[in-house]
């Protein structure tokens, strides 16, 4: 068994695709419209679906926003340098909500950003040595 994907409901598919592909550097892997169901799904990721876990962005044509609730946590992405990753996100118009630095009660360097719908994304700096 393996995890295939995580699905996020998004209020504006084009804005979300721009964020995940242009700001985070993921690739649009596939996209499918379902006119009878009035929704579109798009899969994005850093590798193809056969090789790794990806994100499914689901856009329901009649819904422009969602209540994220208080149970959802975040998506985690490993980065070489969390400080530089935050600077790159800001230059590309992304929102950094917790600057890079050591995690509370630990030494791992982390940062948090938000996507256009408010979903949190954690950057975890790759450990060396």
Model confidence pLDDT, tens digit, residues 49-66: 999 999 999 999 999 999
* Mean pLDDT confidence for 22-50: 97
Domain annotation for the chain: domains and CATH numbers:
5-60 (3.10.180.10), 75-125 (3.10.180.10)
Residue 111: closest CA among 18, 24, 48, 34: 24
Check: CB of residue 54 under 8 Å from CB of residue 29: yes
Closest CA to 53 of 4, 20, 2, 7: 4
Across-strand partners of 117? none
Residue 122 bears catalytic tag: yes
Rounded to the nearest integer, the mean pLDDT of the chain is 95
List the catalytic residue out of 14, 27, 114, 122. 122
Q: What is the pLDDT of residues 56-113, one digit of tens each?
A: 999 999 999 999 888 889 999 999 999 999 999 999 999 999 999 999 999 999 999 9
At residue 128, the pLDDT reads 77
Q: What is the reported pTM? A: 0.89
Long-range CB contacts for residues 97-103, cutoff 8 Å, separation at least 24: 100/125
């Amino acid at each position: 068994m393996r995890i295939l994907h995580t699905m996020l409901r998004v209020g504006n598919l084009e804005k979300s695709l721009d964020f995940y592909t242009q700001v985070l550097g993921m690739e649009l892997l596939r996209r499918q419209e379902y006119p009878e169901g009035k929704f579109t799904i798009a899969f994005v990721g850093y590798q193809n679906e056969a090789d790794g876990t990806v994100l499914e962005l689901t856009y329901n044509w009649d819904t422009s926003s969602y209540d994220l609730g208080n149970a959802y946590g975040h998506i985690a992405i490993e980065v070489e340098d969390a400080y530089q990753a935050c600077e790159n996100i800001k230059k590309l118009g992304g929102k950094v909500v917790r600057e890079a630095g050591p995690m509370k009660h630990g030494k791992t360097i982390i940062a948090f950003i938000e996507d256009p719908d408010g979903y949190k994304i954690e950057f975890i700096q790759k450990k060396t040595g």
